[in-house]
Structure 1
Amino acid sequence: MRLSDGPVALRPLRMRDAQPWHDLRRENHTWLKPWEATRPVDETPEMSFANMVRRLRAEARAGRTMPFAITWSGTFIGQLTVSGITWGSLCGGHIGYWIDKGHAGRGVMPTAVALATDHALQTMGLHRVEICIRPENANSRRVVEKLGFREEGLRPAYLHIDGEWRDHLVYVITSEEIPGGLLNRWRATHGPLHA
C-alpha cells in the first residue's frame, strides 16, 4: 500500500531501507535522542533493522500495526507507525513518527500524519487516533496543533524516553471531527507541498 500527496509518500518499510535508515538515524542522533523511546532495563541487545521490520510486518499481518517509511520525492526521510490498533468497542490506535532534521518544518510531517490518519479512520474504519508527545517537544506539538488534533490531557510518567519515565500530552482526533478528511483540511489551510 502506498499513500501520497505531492512529493510526500508513505509506503511499507523494506529490508533495502536498512542503509538509508541507519544513515539517517546516525546523522540525526542528537536531533532525535531527547524524544526516542528507551528500555528501562537494557539487558537485551538492540534490535537489528531486519528484526524490527520482521516484527512490524508480523504486527501488521495481525492487524495491530501499520508501519510506514516516509519519503520525499522517493527518498527515505523518516518513519511513521500507526500502532496499538485495537478493534471492538475502542476502534483506535496511536501514531508515532520521526523525520530527518533537514526535512522538518516544511509541512512534510503534517502531510504524512494526515495521510496516515485518513487511512486509519476512513479506509481501515478506526474511530480514534491519538498521538502522545512530551510537553517539551515543541516541534512535534506544532505538527498536531496545525492539523487540529485536540489536547486531551496529560499521562504522567507514560513512556520511558531518553533514559527516564516521561510525561506525555495526549492529542486526539476522531472520525466525526474530520468528515471530509484530515488531508483535505490540511491542504485547505496550507496548500499543497511541492518538490
Structure 2
Amino acid sequence: MAAIPTLREGDTVLRPIRVRDARALERELIANRSWLRPWEATSPGANLAWDTRGSIRGLLQQARAGSGLPFVIECDGEFAGQLNVSQITYGSLASATLGYWVAERFAGRGLTPTAVALATDHLFFSRGLHRMEICIRPENGPSLRVVEKLGFRYEGLRRRYIHIDGDWRDHFCFALTVEEVPVGVLHRWRQGRVPEHAAHVPEVDRIAARRGLRLP
C-alpha cells in the first residue's frame, strides 16, 4: 500500500484521516446534522447507530487494501470535512470514485473544489489513474457547483443509484479523464480555463430526476 499523502494549496490541506480524529469528526457530524443529512449515505435495514471509530478503521482498512484514500479536509488548521476516494481500480479500468463533505461554516470559501482538485491531480499524476467519477444527488446544489467550477463532464443520470437518507436516490454522474486535464485540474481552474458547459445537465435528465421517471 502506498502511503496516504498530505496535499496542500493555500489554506486548504488534505491529510490522512486517523483514528484519533474520531472525536473531532463526531463533533462536526453532530453540529452539521441538518446540513449533511440529506446527502449522507445509509444502509437499508442497518442499525442507525453510528460508530465513528469503527467507520474510520473501515476507511483505513480500505486504504491498506489499496482500494481507498481517506482524507480529512482542514482549513487554517481546523477540521473542516472529509474527502474519500473509493473503488480505486488499476489495470484496464484505472479509475476511482470521489465523495466529500464540508461543515456548513466553511461553505462558499472555495475549500471543496480545491480539495477535489488536489485529490484528482494526485490520483492522475502520482497514482496513474485514468478516470475520476463524482456522483451527486440532483438536489445538491452546492456539490453541483463544485463539478461546474472544476469542469467535470456530465455523463448521465443514474436511477436509484445510492441509498441516502433512508431511500434509494437518483444521482447525476460526472467524470474526468487525465487526457482532458494535461495541466492538472487545479491549474486549469486557477487559470480560468475550465470549459464553460462541461457539467451541463440536459433538461430531460433534470425533469426525469424531479419526477422520478424511468428513462427508456
- Selected match of 2:32 from 21, 28, 32: 28
- The one-letter amino acid of 2:87's match is G
Answer whether contact 2:22 2:56 (CA < 8 A) is retained. no
Q: Cα RMSD between the aligned structures?
A: 1.3
Residue of structure 1 equivalent to 2:43: 39
- Selected match of 1:7 from 7, 11, 28: 11
Residue of structure 2 equivalent to 1:95: 98
Residue of structure 1 equivalent to 2:203: none
Question: For this pair of structures, how many residues does the alignment match?
Answer: 189
* Deviation by residue 1:137-158 (Cα, 9 ceiling, x = unmatched): 1110000110000110011000
- The one-letter amino acid of 2:144's match is R
* 1:124 paired to 2:127: yes
Q: Distance in 2 between matches of 1:188 and 1:16?
A: 37
- The one-letter amino acid of 1:18's match is A
* Deviation by residue 1:52-92 (Cα, 9 ceiling, x = unmatched): 12111111111100000000011111000010111121100
Name stretches of at least 5 consecutive residues in structure 2 with no aligned partner.
194-216
Q: Normalising to structure 1: TM-score of the pair?
A: 0.93
Q: Distance in 1 between matches of 2:173 and 2:60?
A: 26
Secondary structure (helix, strand or coil) at the match of 1:189 reads: coil
Q: Distance in 2 between matches of 1:121 and 1:9?
A: 18
Name stretches of at least 5 consecutive residues in structure 1 with no aligned partner.
191-195
Q: Distance in 2 between matches of 1:106 and 1:36?
A: 22
State which structure, 1 or 2, has the greater radius of gyration over its C-alpha atoms.
Answer: 2
Residue of structure 1 equivalent to 2:81: 78
Secondary structure (helix, strand or coil) at the match of 1:144 reads: helix
Following TM superposition, by how much is the alpha carbon of 1:46 offset from its aligned partner in structure 2, in angstroms?
3.4
Q: Normalising to structure 2: TM-score of the pair?
A: 0.85
Secondary structure (helix, strand or coil) at the match of 1:95 reads: strand
Moved over 6 A (4+): none
Following TM superposition, by how much is the alpha carbon of 1:132 offset from its aligned partner in structure 2, in angstroms?
0.2
Secondary structure (helix, strand or coil) at the match of 2:80 reads: strand
Following TM superposition, by how much is the alpha carbon of 1:16 offset from its aligned partner in structure 2, in angstroms?
2.1
* 1:158 paired to 2:161: yes
Identity %: 53
* Deviation by residue 1:12-34 (Cα, 9 ceiling, x = unmatched): 01122112111110111001011
- Selected match of 2:117 from 110, 114, 120: 114
Q: Distance in 1 between matches of 2:160 and 2:188?
A: 33
* Deviation by residue 1:146-189 (Cα, 9 ceiling, x = unmatched): 00001100110000111111000000000000001011112223
Answer whether contact 1:65 1:84 (CA < 8 A) is retained. yes
* Aligned 1:162-177 pairs, distance under 5 A: 162-177=165-180
Q: Distance in 2 between matches of 1:53 and 1:137?
A: 25
Q: Distance in 2 between matches of 1:161 and 1:50?
A: 21
Q: Distance in 2 between matches of 1:61 and 1:18?
A: 19
* 1:53 paired to 2:56: yes
